[in-house]
Chain A
Amino acid sequence: GQQVMQIPQYQHVQEGEDFTTYCNSSTTLSNIQWYKQRPGGHPVFLIQLVKSGEVKKQKRLTFQFGEAKKNSSLHITATQTTDVGTYFCAGGLYNFNKFYFGSGTKLNVKP
């Protein structure tokens, strides 16, 4: 069964509002990756977190990896219409040998 849960499933925001998606794993992960998939496209890598409690920023995006390495979050500040898409987390097991993707959070941004 699915080992990585992701919420919410959908998020509709007004442009300029913030957005957060959360991932939770039933097991301790070796690493976690985040991807963005545009409609009709394929997943595109955003970032990887490896260390317990790690926080990384990419412009308006902030990624966190929980202390227990079982949860992670992606926060977008002041969303833009270009942020539209589905965001997936992918929990890694056994050092890159296997990844479990969450079901994704579909973000819609209204201008």
Chain B
Amino acid sequence: DTGVSQNPRHKITKRGQNVTFRCDPISEHNRLYWYRQTLGQGPEFLTYFQNEAQLEKSRLLSDRFSAERPKGSFSTLEIQRTEQGDSAMYLCASSLWDTRGEQYFGPGTRLTVT
């Protein structure tokens, strides 16, 4: 399967713990996005990478959130000192550097903070 994959699919953690999610985009895609989605809402932009460079970061992203894409392939999203408000589905999407701009989404990681 050459789609976008995310791990883990589900994560339950206690408030105050750190969590890290991984996204493996489609291999030839050089654009990678992270979004957060809560029930009944659309995906909320968190950050964007072009290859290994993080070019955009939402102002909504507090200092507790950090993302990396070290070799321009897979990406990780880390949340430090998790809060209950961080509970959501975290979606990764990738796309090609062309005019179509089609984003391919992964299945997401559902985070529950207790």
> Residues of A with Cβ closer than 8 Å to B?
6, 31, 33, 35, 42-45, 48, 50, 88, 90, 92, 94, 96-104
Contact = CB atoms under 8 A, between A and B. Distances in A.
A42 B108 contact: yes
Contacts, number: 57
Contacts of B33: 99
Given A42-B107, A42-B108, A96-B31, A101 B45 contact: yes
A103 B56 contact: no
A41 to B, nearest CB: 8
B61 to A, nearest CB: 12
Contact of B43 (A43, A44, A48, A97): A43
Range class of the B interface residue count: 20 to 34
Interface of B: 31, 33, 35, 40-45, 48, 50, 55-56, 91, 93, 95, 99-108
Dominant secondary structure of chain A at its interface with chain B: strand
Given A90-B42, A99-B33, 8 more contacts: A31-B101, A42-B105, A43-B103, A48-B100, A88-B43, A96-B95, A101-B44, A102-B42
A42 B106 CA distance: 7
Contact of A42 (B48, B56, B91, B99): B91
A32 B101 CA distance: 10
Contact of B101 (A44, A48, A103, A104): A48
Contacts of A90: 42-43, 103
